[in-house]
Amino acid sequence: MILEKIKSPEDLKKLSVQERRELANELRAIIIRTVAANGGHLSSNLGVVDLTIALHYVFNSPKDKIIWDVGHQSYAHKLLTGRAGAFSTIRQYEGISGFPRMDESSHDAFGTGHSSTSISSALGIIEARDQKKTKIQRGGENSKVIAVIGDGAMTAGLAFEGLNHAGHLKKDLIVILNDNDMSISPNVGALSAYFSRIMIGDLYIKLKKETKFILERIPKVGEPVLRMAQRAEDTVKGLFVPGMLFEELGFEYVGPVDGHKIEVLIETLNRFKDFPGPVLIHAITKKGKGYEPAERSPWVFHGIGSFDIETGNQVSSDNISFSEAFGNCLVKLAKEDNRIVAITAAMTEGTGLSGFARAFPTRFYDVGIAEPHAVTFSAGLASQGLKPVVAIYSTFLQRAYDQIVHDVCLQNLPVIFAIDRAGIVGEDGPTHNGTFDISYLRHIPNLVVMAPKDGNELQDMLETAVSHDGPSAIRYPRGTVSRIQKDKKPCKIPIGESEVLKNGNDILIIAIGNSVQPALDASQLLEELGISSCVINARFVKPIDAGLIGSLAQEIKCVLTVEENTINGGFGSAVLEHLSELNINGLKIKRLGLPDRFIEHGPQNLLRKMVGLDAEGIAREALTLAGKKVRDPSSIL
Ligand SMILES: Cc1ncc(C[n+]2csc(CCOP(=O)(O)OP(=O)(O)O)c2C)c(N)n1
């Protein structure tokens, strides 16, 4: 194995052309094997193997800084930078991360997980390098900074803010545009069409050269026709000359180059690595390269659980996910109400909207990786009487905070936020956990915030949101739904009304969303210990059911809140704030939620157990809070 010889990128530089090619095959085989076992991002990683080898061959990481946009395509980079031995642990608890992390390796120049940050962070690193050079170490070493960004990530405004600033600063930033024509699904938008035209442009240049060659050789006629053609050229040039857009932004555009020809890439990188200003190298790659099932359906293998390598099949399951339950219900509601439109930011499959897109192609919008735009676009739609449902993962909605406040809630527009992957997401880890949305939404005026305990309630909440004349948000977790009757007609829930699931008098447990079931299970454990608990499904984070919560707290005087969100400013804080107003004598209250730190990657249930959000953890807290003497609690907890 050639990879065994590669302890650091330095070793890569000793390989022959043939060995570099073999190394690419080895990397692909290891990536396929490991993702088939652990799950992960397959298609994107297979697509950048050759580019990664070329980058580490030409540049000197970690002195030179390679920044991977999104970072979901950094597996080959990890394998070449001293992590081959640990690679089998990727995405597993206490194993290496599926994304670049500065605390994992000095070769991971910048931590990522969310898209389109590479150009801005790279530019900041260059500026800091130059600040230090002039201030402290005059004439110090001139490290190179390279941002590798996909055509999908390039659709975000943030990427263009970075390009715009880079063109202005005129620093030696190298941007590699890894263009595979795909985001997770086929890429969308005018920019994507522009990249395709660049390919035509490449053809155009070749054609132009050949036409000129021929015309010059036709006596008399050739000369004037050529002059006429050259005059006309300027007007159409902007449309066809490759990379004109980037040139206008102040970049030297190079390409397009074949992103699977290692030697061509090495030659190109060598030629432009010392270029004095910003340069953009446009590499064309194929998503899923080298694994037939992934080449055929790159979106299926974009982010995938474990699968069979021979067939490419995943372990099938009869259970439906919250995302699917949401998507199916939305189709059902949209059949009845033609004001409903759906918006996604490049996550059609992930958010369960594929069925909606098929059923209502003219009422469905994939806006690209552009969450802020998705929200303001929805606000515009809502201002004209439509009912936009914008489905975004909790973690990515963070990017659109101001749009939620300023464009939706301040204007009091009936936009519905379908917030998927709320809570602990598992193997993708801290960049993807949706652990802050309750806190970042509950203080915004006009917004109704809900979380269903199961599939049926998700359907009811969607109906509630559609019939509500103001902004609303529904947060639900990654995973399969319990209890769902697909043919049940969704029913409206009165805004702010919780439900009592179980009566009891020693302790009041108020849970929200996916914490309701473990709270009920905890209540069962407590009962076995002789503790009687009242369990409330809060349903609404905002407005909370102030009346019921207040009167039960008065009565029981011992309150435990449970939520899968950060403990800071979450649902429990809402209850605490309300109860503090009531000045209840002798009230004991404890909030259970996620601790004030980022939650690492690993299986969801293990992580929940570790933070005490499983049934045993909740029962333990309840027991301590109730302060009752019980028979041997360790027999159950
Ligand atoms: C802000 C944000 N929104 C959505 C995502 C989810 N996401 C991860 S990769 C990806 C597609 C990226 O496409 P591209 O940059 O072309 O890379 P490719 O996977 O094609 O190599 C998306 C939408 C994300 N990581 N960050």
Q: pLDDT above 70 covers what percent of the chain?
A: 91
DSSP 192-212: HHHHHHHHHHHHHHHHHHHHH
Helices within 273-348 (DSSP H only): 292-296, 322-336
On whether residue 336 sits in a domain, the answer given is: yes
pLDDT tops 80 at residue 203: no
Condensed to tens digits (0 to 9), the pLDDT of residues 108-162 reads 999 999 999 999 999 999 999 999 886 555 555 689 999 999 999 999 999 999 9
Residue 205, pLDDT above cutoff 60? no
- Which numbered atom of ligand 1 lies nearest the CA of 347? 23
Q: How far is the CA of 158 from the centre of ligand 1 (A)?
A: 13
Question: What is the Cα–Cα distance from 563 to 514, expressed in whole angstroms?
Answer: 8
- Note whether 20 and 53 are within 8 A (CB): yes
Which residues, in sequence order, are CB contacts of 632 under 8 Å at separation 6+? none
pLDDT digits (tens, 9 = 90+) for 273-298: 999 999 999 999 999 999 999 999 99
Residues 340 and 445 in one domain: yes
Structure tokens at 511: 């849970």
Q: Is 371 a catalytic residue?
A: yes
Task: Report, as an integer, the average pLDDT of 433-442.
Answer: 98
276 within a domain of the structure (yes/no) = yes
How does residue 183 score in pLDDT terms, banded at 50, 70 and 90? confident
Same domain, yes or no, for 282 and 143?
yes
Q: Which amino acid is at 138?
A: R
- Is a pLDDT exceeding 50 seen at residue 235? no
Q: Give distance in angstroms: CA of 101 to centre of ligand 1.
A: 17
Q: Give residue 212's pLDDT.
A: 59
Is position 399 annotated as part of the catalytic site?
yes
d(CA 418, CA 341): 12
State whether 346 and 460 are in the same domain. yes
Q: Is 318 exposed, middle or buried (0-12, 13-18, 19+ CB in 10 A)?
A: exposed
Q: Are residues 335 and 278 in the same domain?
A: no
| pLDDT per position as a tens digit, 518-557 | 999 999 999 999 999 999 999 999 999 999 999 999 999 9
Q: Is the pLDDT of residue 206 over 60?
A: no
pLDDT digits (tens, 9 = 90+) for 244-255: 889 999 999 998
Give the mean model confidence (pLDDT) for residues 393-420.
98
Asked if residue 515 and residue 444 are part of one domain, the reply reads no
Question: Tell me: the pLDDT tens digits for 6-23?
Answer: 999 999 999 999 999 999
Q: What is the mean pLDDT of residues 476-481?
A: 96
Contact 99, 429 (CB under 8 A): yes
The tokens describing 13, both together, are 């530089």
Q: Report how far residue 251's alpha carbon sits from residue 172's, in angstroms, rounded to the nearest whole number.
A: 10
Asked whether 158 lines ligand 1 (CB < 6 A), one says no
Cβ of residue 183 lying under 6 Å from some atom of ligand 1: yes
420 and 544 share a domain? no
Side-chain-side CA neighbours of 397 within 13 Å: the count stands at 30
- Domain count across the chain: 3
Q: Is 470 exposed, middle or buried (0-12, 13-18, 19+ CB in 10 A)?
A: middle
CB 91 within 8 A of CB 45: no
Q: Tell me: do 464 and 585 sit in the same domain.
A: no
Averaged pLDDT score across all residues of the chain: 92
Q: Which residues contact 114 (CB under 8 A, 6 or more apart)?
A: 70, 395, 396, 399, 431
Which listed residue (65, 144, 171, 287) is catalytic?
Answer: 287
Distance between CA atoms of residues 560 and 618, nearest Å: 9
109 in a structural domain: yes
- Arithmetic mean of pLDDT, 44-72: 98
Marked catalytic residue, from 26, 324, 371, 457: 371
- Across 605-632, b (16+ Cβ under 10 Å) vs e yields eebbebbbbbbebbbbbbbebbebeeee
Whether residue 300 lies inside any domain: the answer is no
- The rounded Å distance from CA 265 to ligand 1 centre is 23
CA gap 517, 299 in Å, rounded: 33
CA of 114 from ligand 1 middle (Å) equals 8
Q: How many Cβ atoms from other residues are within 10 Å of residue 579's Cβ?
A: 19
Amino acid at 587: L
pLDDT band for 237, please (50, 70, 90 cuts).
very low
| Alpha carbon distances (Å) from 447 to 119, 396, 414 | 34, 19, 9
Query: What is the C-alpha separation between 450 and 448, in angstroms, rounded?
Result: 7
In the DSSP assignment, the letter for residue 13 is T
CATH number, domain with residue 121: 3.40.50.970
> Is the CB of 184 inside a 6 Å radius of any atom of ligand 1?
yes
Contact residues for 471 (Cβ-Cβ < 8 A; gap 6+): 404, 408, 409, 412, 413, 414, 415, 416, 417, 446, 447, 448
- Look at phi and psi of residue 447 and say left if phi exceeds 0, alpha if psi is from -120 to 50, else beta: beta
DSSP SS3 for 86: coil
3-state secondary structure of 563: strand
* pTM score: 0.92
Question: Quick one: 262 and 159 in the same domain?
Answer: yes
Same domain, yes or no, for 429 and 571? no
Structural domain range at position 136: 62-74+91-187+242-289
Cα 3 to averaged position of ligand 1 atoms, centre (Å): 28
pLDDT of 228 strictly over 80: no
Contact 353, 327 (CB under 8 A): yes
What percent of the chain is modeled with pLDDT above 90?
Answer: 84
Residue 370 lies in a domain: yes
| Residue 94 three-state SS | coil
The verdict on the CB of residue 51 being under 6 Å from ligand 1 is no
Tell whether 178 and 258 lie within a shared domain. yes
- Does 261 fall in a domain? yes
Pocket test for ligand 1, best of 48, 115, 158 (most atoms within 8 A of CB): 115
Answer yes or no: is the C-beta of 126 below 6 A from any ligand 1 atom. Answer: no
Report if residue 192 sits inside a domain.
Answer: no
> With 50 as the cut, is the pLDDT of residue 86 above it?
yes
- Ligand 1 contact, 172 CB (< 6 A): no
- pLDDT surpassing 70 at residue 199: no
Does the structure show a pLDDT above 70 at 352?
yes
Reported as a pLDDT band with limits 50, 70 and 90, residue 239 is: very low
The residue from 420, 443, 475 where one domain ends is: 475
- 266 in the same domain as 402: no
Res 78: pLDDT: 98
Domain containing residue 524: CATH number: 3.40.50.920
The distance between the two most distant Cα atoms of the chain, rounded to a whole number of Å, is 108
Q: What's the confidence (pLDDT) of residue 482? A: 86
* 110 is a domain residue: yes
Residue 222 binned pLDDT confidence (cut-offs 50, 70, 90): low
Residues 29-44, mean pLDDT to the nearest whole number? 97
Backbone angles phi, psi at 149, to 5 degrees: -130, 140
Check the CA dihedral 197-198-201-206 and report its sign.
negative
pLDDT in tens, 567-622: 999 999 999 999 999 999 999 999 999 999 999 999 999 999 999 999 999 999 99
- Catalytic, 335? Answer no
Provide the token pair at 133. 């050079």
Residues 454 and 555 in one domain: no
The dihedral region occupied by 459, where left means phi > 0, alpha psi between -120 and 50, and beta the remainder, is alpha
